[in-house]
Structure 1
Amino acid sequence: MEYSPVSVTPLSLLQRILLAYIAASTYQFYLVSPSSTSNSMPAAGDATTLLAFKSLLFDPHYTLSSWNVNNTLNVCNWHGIGCQSEGRRRVVTAVRLESLGLTGMISTAIADLTFLRVLHLPNNQLNGSIPRELGDLPHLRYLNLSSNALEGTIPDTLSQCSRLHTISIHSNKLQGSLPSSMARCSRLRVIDFYNNLLTGEIPDEYQTLPELSWLFLSNNNLSGAIPAFGSNSSSSLVTRILLSNNSLTGQIPQSFGNLTSLTLLYLSRNHLVGHIPPSLGNCMNLTSVSVGDNNLKGNLPDSLGQLTRLRYLDFSANYLSGVIPLSLYNLSSLTILDLAVNRLVGTIPPNIFQALPELQYLYLSCNNLQGSIPQSFSHASQLQYLDLSDNSLSGVIPSNLGQLNNLVVLGLAINHFEAKEAKDWDFFSSLANCTNLNQLFLSHNYLAGNFPTSVGNLSSRLDWLAMDRLQISGAIPPEIGKLQGLQFLDLSENFITSSIPSTIAGIPNLTQLYLFRNRLSGHIPESLGNLTWLEVLQLGDNDLHGNIPSSFSARNQLNELNVSFNRLNGTIPNELAKISSLTKVLDLSHNYFTGPIPRDVNQLNLLVLLDISENKLSGELPVTLGGCETLNSLYMQGNSFQGAIPRQLRNLSSLQRLDISRNKFSGQIPEFFAELESLQYLNISFNDFEGPVPIKGVFANTSEIFMNGNSRLCGGAPALQLPSCLVHSSKDGKFFNTPRIVVLTILSSSLCFILLATIIILRKKVSSQRLPRLSSSRDKFRMVSYLELHKATDGFSSVNLIGTGNFSSVYKGNLDGYQNLIAVKVLNLAERGALKSYMAECEALKSIRHRNLVKILTCCSSIDHRGNDFKALVLEFVPNCSLEDWLHPKHPSKYLCLEQRLKIAIDIASALEYLHHHHGQTPIVHCDVKPSNILLDYDMHSKLGDFGLTKFIHGASSATTTGDPSYSIAVKGSIGYIPPEYGMGGKVSTHGDVYSYGILLLEMVTGKRPTDNMFYDGRSLRSFVEEFFQNVDEIVDPVILLTMGDDRQKDKIEVCLASMVEIGLSCSREAPDARMDMKTVTTKLAAIESAYLGCDNTSQ
């Protein structure tokens, strides 16, 4: 489960409340006074006009019942009508019909009310356009048509209303541009057009309006630069500027510093660039500043500390750098401070909350802050939201955080906080005093030790608890069941043991439960099926056994269930197939399930991914499987299914990936496979299919179909190199081109081979070395011989050759008695250094185990059929080619989106972090990190392989060079990825891997190899990227741009790419000590992923 550490920012809600308040209260000050009580007679013509106006309206509540032809003499007493005396007669001067549920159109007859000063029709359901005839009302001062469903454009005729001082038409569906002619209304004080569909630029003429006070244009699609309000005395009265959520560009005008009356400035969610003008410090009346989610850079100016009335300050989601000015901490009135998602550095001042006593919301997440959490946080008696996630903060979390009695959200995820001793968890126990605590984020830290039993004392209001990727061990305390308000619980990727406590099933509103990648054992509690609101259950990669409880049934709300990589057995319960709410994932793979697929599987008719691979399932596929019409991915490989493929599977029209390899299917390949237009990947290897291979659809892309191990197939695309299909005789049923001599030749060759093999076995060396499987105690791998590997690879056939290197060739194969495909790495012992490479790889792989490292299954040291020495490594088969093949594909159909590249970067960083920092006391240096040594599986998870150059650093820290002289220049690597210190006689260290990783990351962003022809005369991939660092979009791999959607998506991609480039440049610095370590890299990439996937909503 990947998510932003804190996605709880209430600032957008605060802004909505503020705008609603503004909308409700703004204009009352300007409304015309109630009607006069003069005895003058009303104008009969006004009554006729109002009845014409009413004729186009539908009045659902009969509020306008007083408006009738029999009551025209009392027109001034009609509902919502205001009159004043004009000479000896009374005329209608105001129409106020707010929130009456009126529908229909605004009649042009309204323009006949010659003396109308106020037209107030907000919060109805009026449609149609704004009548151009409103421009014929010379006395109109106040116009409010907001919160309706009006369409069309803003009529430029309104500029004829020379006395107009307030115009509000917000929250409609108006389009077109802002009429510049409105600047002729020299008395305009309020322009309120926010929340429409307006486009174009803000007219510069608006800055010349001498009485303009409020300019509300937020939530449109306006573009261009912001006019320079304040550049002359004309706009000196402006108090509120709201331009958020548009597409404005350019810089914040320096002239804003002259707007000394300004109280509100909202410019968030635009495309503004440049620096924050220091002149803003002159706007001494400012109370709210929101400029988040732009492209601002540079430092926060010290002058902001002069805004002593400031209560709300938001510069989140920009590119601001430097330290936070101490002057900001002198703003004693500040209640909201949001500087999240920037590049700020430095530490948090120790006395921050003595200077900010009113602070309620503090967001500093996604920066580069260091140091520890100050003890003074306990003085923040008003603090409700504290988000320090995704920084480089360290040390022990202060135990006095529990004194924050008003705390609602605490985000400390993705930092370097530590808990090495039991007392370091005191902070957790102290949080029991925070009775309002609603969300707690501790993920991605170094909090080790047993799971605190005090978890049961946390607030009963807690609904979100994220403690994944820590180093928690021991059992889950049963006290966790006391958290009755919990909806989200993530304890994944820890070292938790024992069984799942049944008390979790007593949390009635739990919707998401993540316990994957732990060491849980025992059965899945039957009572978990009673969690009727549970939507996501992730129990994969544990040691659970037994059956799936039958309590999981149709009454559950599950849409994602993953119990893969356990030791579950028995049949798949039919009740599971009846959970129609399963719409995302059902993953039962890598277990020991037996029996057939439930016949009611068609009830999973909205499921996207079904994975039942690597089990012991059998029988024929049920025809009802064709009812799962929304399936995108179907994985059934590694079972014992048999029979023909049912034709009903032709209904799987959304299917993109299908893997049925390593089963016992027979018959011909269904023609409808070629008719599935969405199908992009098909693996039917190692079955018993026969007959012709189709040539259309997915079969036309030979790089995405796999059919090995079906010896009776023929035809197909030429690239498959299958034999031609034989022509059948219509007379005697015999094949014309089957000479008996061919059969005799095959038989004699086989006999010769068997005889030769027997001789080899008799001569076999007694001292032959074989290593047992080292990757898993769950599934011991037996020892293998040369003959078995020869058979598994079809005699090391070139058809099965999947790669070659300096010292070896790699073949894929299918070993008897082993369900999964294997990779056989055969050493070329004639090459100098091959034997040393073999020994290094054996030494490295025998002692490591990580999900992102290629696993070694066994080794074979023997003699081949010629009597020569033979050495090979048997590895897990990783089927989806190497990263090299994806970054630099031979076929344009192969490409990686940004999300996939980011996940691969995280996978490899995690693998290197393990090698450098978590491998006992002996760090391992890979020495050859490059794309061709990174393999991808079906799900695009990456694994680092080829440990032939690996070095151990004995008795050294992970960042220390070895003292053995043999580890210096003798180290080889790959040109372009070798760190510069190795070329100057430097010794092997983990810094070298970091350098190679940095170059790899830059290659993944740009799509350019470090050995590209464009890099010569001292120019390198790193210098090229550094040169264009401020314009990443100019150097990015064009393939990534294919995934860009709207401008908002483009902005997110550019931010993500810039962050990746920054890490790549840091890792590839020339000085080894200046490079990041892999712990920091892994942490920062995880944060980048969280932000890019759209879960980080801290900005406004």
Structure 2
Amino acid sequence: MLLKSYGFSDGTDRKALLEFKSQVSEDKKVVLSSWNHSYPLCNWNGVTCGRKHKRVTRLDLKDFQLGGVISPSIGNLSFLISVNLYDNSFGGTIPQEMGNLFRLRHLDMRLNFLQGRIPASLFNCSSLLEISLNKNHLREGVPSELGSLKKLVVLSLGDNNLGGNLPASLGNLTSLRYLDVASNNMEGGLPDGMATLTQLVGLQLIMNNLSGAFPSVIYNLSSLEYLYMSLNQFSGSLRPDFGTLLPNLRHLNMGDNYFTGAIPTTLPNVSTLEKLGINNNNMTGNIPVSFGKLRNLQWLYLHGNSLGSYSVGDLEFLDALTNCTQMDSLYVADNRLGGDLPNSIANLSKSLINLSLQNNLISGSIPQDIGNLISIQKLGLGDNMLTGPLPASIGKLSGLRVLSLSANRVSGEIPSSIGNITRLESLSLFNNSFEGTIPPALSNCMYLLHLSIGYNKLNGTIPPEVTQLSPLVTLSMEGNFLSGSLPKDVGRLENLIKLSLEHNDLSGKLPPGLGNCLSMEEMYLQGNSFDGDIPDLKGLVGVRRVDMSNNKLSGSIPGYFANFSKLEYLNLSINNLEGRVPTDGKFKNATIVSVFGNKNLCGGIKEVKLKPCLAQAPKMRRKHPFLSRKVVIGVSTCLALLLLLFIASVSLIWLRKRKKTQQANNSTPMFDVFHEKVSYGDLQNATDGFSSKNVIGSGSFGTVFKALLPTEEKVVAVKVLNLQRHGAMKSFVAECESLKDIRHRNLVKLLTACSSIDFQGNEFRALIYEFMPNGSLDMWLHPEEVEETRRPSRTLTLLERLNIAIDVATVLDYLHVQCHEPIAHCDLKPSNVLLDDDLTAHVSDFGLAKLLLKFDRESFLNQLSSAGVRGTIGYAAPEYGMGGQPSIEGDVYSFGVLILEMFTRKRPTNELFGGNCTLHSYSKAALPDQVLDIADKSILQIGVRVGFPISECLNLILDVGLRCCEESPMKRLATSEATKELISIRERFFKGRRTTKS
């Protein structure tokens, strides 16, 4: 009866669809429950039939979430005009049998898991108008047969794994209006045949490996309205008549390529342009003022180029953009824009949502009317040179979610009106000159996730209201003058991942609630005055980095730290901790845990180098009072006699030794901090009798040998003191005293020392250091002065030199500020900067170092004596020549000279210099216009990609060096400031990268 009612014509379609259903995964077949013999075929879910023949013409299963594979039986639906399988989970391949669907016009299989290649048979479907296969796992190339589809209007193949080149037959698709091959693995350029696609309106080439110059065939596609070609490897400059050739563009995105040259002046003539992106290229020149003519412009992305010249006039385009009333996004960050920030930014479109001017050299102040940008959600002005206060009108931006002003020179107080921005999610005022107290009104920003106000001049206490910001993920207040205690309710910040309060004046006990911050991964509390016991933090099982160094914490080290499986760094050094250091868990690794500078700690693993813990003597059972008293008196008398005998013996030995060596005024360092005992014989064997072939350096007080210690089977550097030289013993003592209690990744590690007698009965002193395989910085800067066998195989790149400068600045800041007692190195120069496998710098040779027990600036000006010159001529500060005492300012001067030498490759004692001409004056005279004339030419030849602003980078680096070696000590940069400026330069020009071993 069914066959009679509906005829035989639909039997093929019914059978094909039931076969299709059989290949759908079982758990999804319920969606196709109507596909059975009880329902008329044309009433089946997703099926549409033709009016005349009642045959299936459309199969629309969009968003059905079906799984399984596509049955080859689909090829039997010979009346199909449209197939829509969008957003399902079909796997397998596209059936070859689909090539039988000669009536097919629309094919949409986007968002599935289809694999394999696009079947060539599909291009037998000569009626096809649209093929959409985006977001599958198709591979291999685009079949050349697609050129037979003369009627094709839309071809979307994006987000697959298609490779190879686009076929030349693409040029046969003369009806094509939209082509999307974005996000594949294609390579090469575009075929010349594409020039015939004069009907093309949209072209997407995003994120392939397409390379070469801007494809010239595109200039022929005058109908283009949408052109997306970002994230490729296109290079070269754009034609000046670009806008004339493509006059109908509405969207143009060429970001993340390698385009160079200027923005074509004809581009702003494309009056239809709505969205423009040329971001992250190497574009130069000015941003055209004529962009102001584009009344329909909605977003302009020009960030990540080299636009501008760090000069007045770079920001004139902002005045013109006030005419673009539809604009919602403006990104011009990471360029070379200079000049004062114009007040006109407050008059930009009321629709503006995103504004980013970060990482330029923009100066001036923030306009008072900044509150006019009522729709703004993201405002980025960080990494510039802005000054003046943050206007109170900022509080009018009620929809603001992200505010970044970091790394500027903004001053004044943080306005309390900022509490009116109740939707604020990220506030970054890091590294400015804000002063006053933290406004309690911040507690109104109940969506705040990131609060970064570190390295300012803020004082007062941490408002308890801050603990009400329960969503906080990052709380950064380091490097201020905050005082008082940590709020006791800090445990309410249950989502806090990073807490940075280091280098303030905070005090008191750490609140127990700190252990309730269960999401904590990083906790930095160093450089404060916290006291008392470390609270119960055992709940912080996900913590990775903890630094509580340089405080006044007491009590024992909690054992729970040993069980923190994710712990990578624990620094408890320079406190008042006592008792036994654990040896299990994380405490087995000395590179993770640092506990030096706690006088009453003992035990731990060997590498920690602490005194052993004394075993507690068992208590004597008291039997008789009279007998106990007699025992005590007897023992005491014996001990006293033994002590007197020991003192007499030691005194006699010391007097004899003093007479023999005539070293009465020299003291010997405390060697008990060095656990590894090395004898003279060990060192003689390890250096092959102190053979000249093992000499790797020499200095004022001794010679350095390369040695292999047999006990450790480790290569080390042995510095043997020449005790015949006046001051050698003082140098030995100074080096031991300086290095025994300090530890930093950029200091050469002193492993142990040898104080012994040689085989002739003479005194012998040696220091054993970690070996640095890449020698000294001096060798790399002046290879022509080094033996052929020891010369580096290449020269240092600009980035490598900048990294080395940052390493040295970092360790100087540690010595000057972060050590328990400040230390002045007194002899900083390239030969005392050693390089490891990865060219990381390590400062060495503390033979002239001085502990500055009561150093301050006033005492420096008053401490003039006949101490004589400290350091090396050319590097020693000028005040040392007038009898000045060692100081951290003297080190800063030497560091400034070091920077100038590193980037000019000229020693301060070069024959060019004499009289009033010094390395300092020579460098200063070249800034800013002749900096390339004085720079080391090898920097200009290697490691510089096309368009890299090397002169601007060098100007900024050398300016830091010049400010460090000012003649007046009071005018010199602090090492902390120098470090921050050098890091900022690296981030600006190299995006924070470090180089590794080549």
Which digits, 9 at most, give the CA deviation of each residue in 1:774-798, with x for residues without a partner? xxxxxxxxxxx99999999752556
Cα pair 1:857 1:874 within 8 Å, conserved: no
Deviates more, 1:332-341 or 1:547-556: 547-556
Equivalence for 1:382: 272
Matched residue type, 1:681: Y
Match of 2:507 among 608, 614, 618: 618
Identify if the C-alpha distance between structure 1 residues 624 and 259 changes in structure 2 by more than 3 Å, giving closer, same or farther. same
Gaps of 5+ in 2: 22-26, 622-631, 668-699, 701-726, 753-768, 783-795, 816-823, 842-894, 915-932, 946-982
- 2:371 corresponds to 1:481: yes
- Measured in 2, the distance between the counterparts of 1:372 and 1:143 equals 60
- Measured in 1, the distance between the counterparts of 2:903 and 2:13 equals 91
The two structures have a TM-score, normalised by structure 1, of 0.60
Equivalence for 1:426: 316
Task: Give, in angstroms, the shift of residue 282 of structure 1.
Answer: 0.5
- Measured in 2, the distance between the counterparts of 1:859 and 1:676 equals 28
Equivalence for 1:995: 942
Identify if the C-alpha distance between structure 1 residues 297 and 963 changes in structure 2 by more than 3 Å, giving closer, same or farther. farther
Equivalence for 2:84: 192
Equivalence for 1:461: 351
After superposition, residues 448-527 of structure 1 pair within 5 angstroms as 448-527=338-417
Identify if the C-alpha distance between structure 1 residues 218 and 637 changes in structure 2 by more than 3 Å, giving closer, same or farther. same
Cα pair 1:397 1:427 within 8 Å, conserved: yes
Which digits, 9 at most, give the CA deviation of each residue in 1:1036-1079, with x for residues without a partner? xxxxxxxxxxxxxxxxxxxxxxxxxxxxxxxxxxxxxxxxxx99
Which digits, 9 at most, give the CA deviation of each residue in 1:129-161, with x for residues without a partner? 3558837589736854499xxxxxxxxxxxxx9
Task: Give, in angstroms, the shift of residue 341 of structure 1.
Answer: 1.2
- Measured in 1, the distance between the counterparts of 2:364 and 2:560 equals 52
Q: Provide the alpha-carbon RMSD of the alignment.
A: 5.3
Cα pair 2:281 2:304 within 8 Å, conserved: yes
Which digits, 9 at most, give the CA deviation of each residue in 1:290-329, with x for residues without a partner? 1111111111222222112211110011111122233323
3-state SS of paired residue (1:354): helix
3-state SS of paired residue (2:942): helix
Task: Give, in angstroms, the shift of residue 965 of structure 1.
Answer: 14
Match of 2:492 among 603, 624, 634: 603
- Measured in 2, the distance between the counterparts of 1:751 and 1:540 equals 58
3-state SS of paired residue (2:363): strand
- Measured in 1, the distance between the counterparts of 2:805 and 2:573 equals 28
- 2:950 corresponds to 1:950: no
Task: Give, in angstroms, the shift of residue 359 of structure 1.
Answer: 1.3
Matched residue type, 2:232: N
- Measured in 2, the distance between the counterparts of 1:870 and 1:605 equals 44
3-state SS of paired residue (1:504): helix
- 2:204 corresponds to 1:320: no
Equivalence for 1:129: 30
- Measured in 2, the distance between the counterparts of 1:239 and 1:835 equals 65
Equivalence for 1:678: 566
Equivalence for 1:642: 531
Match of 2:182 among 292, 308, 317: 292
Cα pair 2:507 2:528 within 8 Å, conserved: yes
Cα pair 2:226 2:251 within 8 Å, conserved: yes
- Measured in 1, the distance between the counterparts of 2:428 and 2:728 equals 41
- Measured in 2, the distance between the counterparts of 1:142 and 1:319 equals 47
Identify if the C-alpha distance between structure 1 residues 798 and 636 changes in structure 2 by more than 3 Å, giving closer, same or farther. closer
Identity %: 30
Equivalence for 2:197: 307
- Measured in 2, the distance between the counterparts of 1:617 and 1:947 equals 35
Identify if the C-alpha distance between structure 1 residues 210 and 525 changes in structure 2 by more than 3 Å, giving closer, same or farther. same
Deviates more, 1:312-321 or 1:355-364: 355-364
Identify if the C-alpha distance between structure 1 residues 132 and 700 changes in structure 2 by more than 3 Å, giving closer, same or farther. same
Deviates more, 1:680-689 or 1:460-469: 680-689
Task: Give, in angstroms, the shift of residue 541 of structure 1.
Answer: 0.9
- 2:60 corresponds to 1:168: yes
Cα pair 1:366 1:1087 within 8 Å, conserved: no
- Measured in 2, the distance between the counterparts of 1:494 and 1:746 equals 69
Identify if the C-alpha distance between structure 1 residues 486 and 948 changes in structure 2 by more than 3 Å, giving closer, same or farther. closer
Task: Give, in angstroms, the shift of residue 546 of structure 1.
Answer: 1.4
Matched residue type, 1:795: E
3-state SS of paired residue (1:854): helix
Task: Give, in angstroms, the shift of residue 1086 of structure 1.
Answer: 4.3
- 2:96 corresponds to 1:207: no
Task: Give, in angstroms, the shift of residue 659 of structure 1.
Answer: 0.8
Task: Give, in angstroms, the shift of residue 661 of structure 1.
Answer: 0.8
Cα pair 2:12 2:77 within 8 Å, conserved: no
- 2:525 corresponds to 1:633: no
Task: Give, in angstroms, the shift of residue 281 of structure 1.
Answer: 1.1
Match of 2:326 among 436, 442, 456: 436
- 2:297 corresponds to 1:342: no
Identify if the C-alpha distance between structure 1 residues 222 and 113 changes in structure 2 by more than 3 Å, giving closer, same or farther. closer
- 2:169 corresponds to 1:273: no
Equivalence for 1:795: 737
Which digits, 9 at most, give the CA deviation of each residue in 1:88-143, with x for residues without a partner? x899x99xxxxxxxxxxxxxxx99999999x99xxxxx975355883758973685
Cα pair 1:801 1:811 within 8 Å, conserved: no
Matched residue type, 1:317: M
- Measured in 2, the distance between the counterparts of 1:528 and 1:749 equals 75
Matched residue type, 1:166: R
Match of 2:114 among 215, 222, 227: 222
Matched residue type, 2:521: N
- Measured in 2, the distance between the counterparts of 1:220 and 1:363 equals 27
Matched residue type, 1:375: T
Cα pair 2:315 2:341 within 8 Å, conserved: no
- Measured in 1, the distance between the counterparts of 2:274 and 2:777 equals 66
Matched residue type, 1:228: A
Cα pair 1:510 1:534 within 8 Å, conserved: yes
Equivalence for 2:427: 537
Matched residue type, 1:209: L
3-state SS of paired residue (1:247): coil
Cα pair 2:420 2:444 within 8 Å, conserved: no
Task: Give, in angstroms, the shift of residue 612 of structure 1.
Answer: 0.6
Cα pair 2:234 2:257 within 8 Å, conserved: yes
Equivalence for 1:884: 838
- 2:827 corresponds to 1:872: yes
Equivalence for 1:892: none
Identify if the C-alpha distance between structure 1 residues 431 and 948 changes in structure 2 by more than 3 Å, giving closer, same or farther. closer
Matched residue type, 1:884: D
Task: Figure out how many residues of one structure are paired with residues of the other and give that number.
Answer: 752
Identify if the C-alpha distance between structure 1 residues 758 and 402 changes in structure 2 by more than 3 Å, giving closer, same or farther. farther
Matched residue type, 2:382: S
Identify if the C-alpha distance between structure 1 residues 1079 and 684 changes in structure 2 by more than 3 Å, giving closer, same or farther. closer
After superposition, residues 403-422 of structure 1 pair within 5 angstroms as 403-419=293-309, 422=312
- Measured in 1, the distance between the counterparts of 2:417 and 2:658 equals 59
- Measured in 2, the distance between the counterparts of 1:511 and 1:360 equals 29
- Measured in 1, the distance between the counterparts of 2:814 and 2:554 equals 34
Gaps of 5+ in 1: 1-44, 47-85, 95-109, 121-125, 148-160, 762-767, 769-784, 813-823, 861-868, 888-942, 956-961, 967-985, 999-1077, 1090-1100
- Measured in 2, the distance between the counterparts of 1:662 and 1:146 equals 75
